[in-house]
Amino acid sequence: MSIVLGPNRYGKAETRLVRVVREGGVHHLKDVNVSSSLSGDMRDVHLTGSNAAVLPTDTQKNTVYALARKHGVDQIEDFALLLAAHFVDSQPTIHHARVEIDEYAWNRVADRGHSFVRDGSEVRTCVVHYDRDGAVSVVSGLKDLVVLNSTGSEFHGFIEDEFTTLQPTNDRILATALSARWRHTGARSAFGSSYGEVRRCLLEAFADTHSLSLQQTLYAMGERVLDTRPEVCEVRFAMPNKHHFLVDLSPFGMDNDNEVYYAADRPYGLIEGSVLRDDAPDAGFAWE
């Protein structure tokens, strides 16, 4: 039996970058979290400890700051592509780069040019892979987008066994903290407008679907995106069911006609799935 080195990568996780662009008295803020992972000719560093092929993770961190100063940070997908290409194209021992970026939104305070308040809604995300052989993939996304329908959701007809206590319902609150990622058909796109349109499709499909299950809603959201956005070939979802249970007020001689609930944070149902075009290219390493 022989022992061999398996797949490996290394990098700098969560490099926090805030960039301010000043246009007179009006400032623009970009707040991102960048993680890079590199792989390639790394056999010797694992087997002998030789670092000759290693680009230090501290250098990866500094590269994030330097390229942000040199090129700016507009759409996070474009900045991730810039970083990934730099790591691979500048270093012969680096064959593959993965760059993941989370973006945190800030809103300007009224008409103040330099005052901002943190937007507490979803986090915008992207993952970019860039390979020396020319393969490139871009996955955009969002996470922690909390949405709720106060009616228009049912759940019944499910399996019932000796351990089932859940009662069927024809009217319930449906809520989730949505995480969605979508794979682009090409490595270049108008990522900013695409993000806004995909987000709109997700929200409209969630609101428009009379749901018999969260799975049905998941599919409707993915279908709406793919029907509307030709630059997207696959959407993947993670949708925790944020349960809302009616409070039993009968001990107090009171009814409760779908008005008073308690929100349970755990345990929760977790619904995951993907919706894709039947001719979508192989995902390869896109989702890793």
Enumerate the active-site residues.
Answer: 12, 57, 243
Residue 70 DSSP label: H
Structure tokens at 249: 């007020």
Task: Report yes or no: 97 and 129 within 8 Å, Cβ to Cβ.
Answer: yes
Q: How far is it between the farthest Cα atoms of the chain?
A: 77
Count other Cβ atoms within 10 Å, centred on residue 66.
Answer: 12
Residue with tokens 């029907």: 227
- Encoding tokens for residue 244? 């809302």
SS3 state at 53 = coil
Beta strands in the chain (DSSP E): 10-23, 26-40, 94-104, 106-108, 116-118, 123-131, 136-149, 174-184, 232-240, 244-246, 261-263, 270-276
The span from the CA of 263 to the CA of 268, in Å, is: 11
